[in-house]
Structure formats: C-alpha cells, structure tokens
Amino acid sequence: MIIDLPSTTTSQVNRKLVELRERGGAVALGRVLTLVIVDDDGEHLEAHIDAANEASREHPCRVIVVARGSRTAAARIDGQIRVGGDAGASEVVILRLYGPLAAQGQSAVVPLLLPDAPIVTWWPSAGPKAPAQDPIGQLAQRRITDSAAERSPIRALATRRKSYVEGDTDLAWTRLTNWRAQLVAALDLPPYEKITAATVTGEADSPSTELLAGWLAEYLRVPVKRVKTSTAQGIVSVSLERRSGAVELYRPDGKVGMLTQPGQPTRRIALHRRSTKDCLIEELRRLDPDEVYEAALHGLDKLSAGAAKSPGKAKSNGKKPAKAAAS
C-alpha cells in the first residue's frame, strides 16, 4: 500500500504511521534498526529503495528516504508512506524536501527515527566528503557510502581515507568479500610458503581494485604493485608471488574466475559482481567498526604503480581479457 502526503509535515507523517500501525497491526518493536537513505539521484531512487526492501527481509527496519528537490522551489515536504507488499519487511517513508528545507534533512529525519534502535545512513549515489561530519551522518552508528558511484571514484576514495571515522564503510569494499575469501582459501593449501610480492590488476578508476591492493599490502606486509588497465572494467587479476610459483586469480569475463597455483589443478570460481542488495545486506549484519576496512585504507599508501600488461600477456593461458564487471 502506498499513501501520498503532498505538502505535509513530519508530524502528519508520524500520525499516519501510527494510524496504519494500529489499523494493520504492524509493530515498531519488530524493527531492528532505522535505515536512512540520502539520495539526490531521482533517476535511480526506486532501484535503491528496492535494494533496501530486499535487505529488510533479513533486517526488518524502518526505511527513511531523504530526496532533495529543487532548492529554488517554495519550501515544502512531499511525503509518501509504503507498507505491506510495497515495503518488503519494512515500512518506507519517502521525504522529498524542496526550497530551504532541502538543506534540513536532519531535522526532517529525527522525528521519524525508531526509539532505542541503531541508525544506519546510506548514500547510494554521491556522498559527503566526510560522512561522520554530515548532519544526517552524525545521527548514525554506521555510515555507508559507495565510491564507485562517484564522478571521480579514486579521488572520492582518497578523500574518505583522510576523513575515516569508526563506523564508516564503503560498498566498494563490500564487493570484495568473495575475492578476499578465495585468496585466503588458496593460501590455506600447500605449499605453505611466504608471499614475497603481489600484483593487482584492474580498471584505472576502480575503487574496489584499489582497496583489494591496499588490503594485501597491509596484511601481507610485502610490496604490492597496482597495475591499471583500460582493456577491462573492475578487478581483472591478482597474482601472489612465492618461491614455488605464483598464485593467480584471474577473471576474464567479469563472471567466472580462474584460480591457478603450483601443484594444484586450475579451478573455475564464480566471481560475479555482487549486487547492491547483497552488499547492503552484508553491511547491515554488523554495526561495529570494520577494522579490516580501515586497515585496507591505510594500505593504500603502500602501493606502487605498474604498467598494464598487453592483452596477450594478461594471463599465462593466452586468453584475452573480456569486458569485465565493475568490481
């Protein structure tokens, strides 16, 4: 059910929520958190709400969407409430702020927050340079941004590294979970030799590639070369050098990875680009500081640049890299 509340106030929205709860039996105590989505990108707003609705099936929550409209329009709030089948396992409140109110998102959000429940703020499009200093970000225990959605992803990532505060995270980091898991699993197999160097190849403006290289540099304590390529998107390959030969994880098509290492058969591994829904679900599972992400940010200072390999040398089997996914 979708209820439109044009030219409304937060008090009227709150009263309508209470009315719907009493009439339909929905209980606010069943919500485990409040998810605030700050999105000025009206073109993809529905896709972001759909991702939040899917995430709410694992993490029942109240979703508050702050969409800033024209700052030159008259001051008003257009509200919308979605419950039932239109809101997953949550209740969705959309606030479109116009005129001077467009800069007052924090004041509009506060009356609608669930009492005694954690708050997570998510910027699915362009986010603030310092999320913890943003007025809405100051309300949250967890602040989720996405460097890949920025106009200049690498520059945005560098800015977030400088402004990092416990509770900050980035979906560009969450997209690496499968890559990190496969690399760790590969090193658990014999021969158990020390890694002496590493090379990470990926698209020039891929923040996920940067973070993967930073993570390896921080935890392996070895030289890590970040190779930029223009022949594919996202992460292309990771090579970990050791005495008996390299451990290589190579994704030629953005979907299936090839893991090769001495003494082991080549294995095909599913490495699809993770959806926003899956990344959001993972981030909402923990509200404590992500120390590993923080370490990966610190590791960015330890990277060295390398020249991109030609397509014919991108992989020892001679296959040319195809167009890959963005991370």
* Same domain assignment for residues 31 and 100: yes
Report the sign of the C-alpha dihedral through residues 226, 231, 232, 237, in that order.
Answer: negative
At residue 42, the pLDDT reads 73
* Same domain assignment for residues 188 and 127: no
More confident residue, 84 or 113: 113
What distance in Å separates the CA atoms of residue 171 and residue 66, rounded to the nearest whole number?
19
Residue 166 lies in a domain: no
313: pLDDT strictly greater than 70: no
What distance in Å separates the CA atoms of residue 218 and residue 262, rounded to the nearest whole number?
25
Residue 90 lies in a domain: yes
Band (pLDDT 50/70/90 cuts) for residue 311 is very low
Query: Could you report the per-residue pLDDT of 159-192, keeping only the tens digit for each?
Result: 999 999 999 999 999 999 999 999 999 988 888 8
* Same domain assignment for residues 121 and 255: no
Residue 91 lies in a domain: yes
Number of domains in the chain: 2
Please give the backbone phi and psi of residue 171, each rounded to the nearest 5 degrees, phi first: -65, -20
> At which of 121, 145, 169 does a domain end?
145
Expressed as residue numbers, the domain containing 101 is: 2-145
What distance in Å separates the CA atoms of residue 173 and residue 54, rounded to the nearest whole number?
20
298-325: buried (b, 16+ CB within 10 Å) or exposed (e) per residue? ebbebbeeeebbeeeebbeeeeebeebb
Supply 288's token pair.
């404590």
What distance in Å separates the CA atoms of residue 240 and residue 268, rounded to the nearest whole number?
18
What distance in Å separates the CA atoms of residue 93 and residue 31, rounded to the nearest whole number?
14
Provide the mean pLDDT of the chain.
89
Q: What is the mean pLDDT of residues 32-52?
A: 90
310: pLDDT strictly greater than 80: no
* Same domain assignment for residues 290 and 235: yes
Residue 163 lies in a domain: no
* Same domain assignment for residues 183 and 84: no
* Same domain assignment for residues 87 and 14: yes
Q: What is the DSSP string of 87-121?
A: STTSEEEEEEEEGGGGG-HHHHHGGGSPTT--EEE
CA dihedral 295, 154, 138, 92 (to 10 degrees): -110
Q: CATH number for the domain including 114?
A: 3.40.50
Beta-sheet pairing, 247-250 with 256-261? antiparallel
pTM for this entry: 0.89
Contact 48, 67 (CB under 8 A): no
Residue 327 lies in a domain: no
Residue 322 lies in a domain: no
Residue 303 lies in a domain: yes
Q: 84-93, 259-268, 280-289: which has the minimum mean pLDDT? A: 84-93
According to the per-residue pLDDT averaged within each range, which of 116-125, 297-306, 312-321 is highest? Answer: 116-125
CB count within 10 Å of CB 265 equals 7
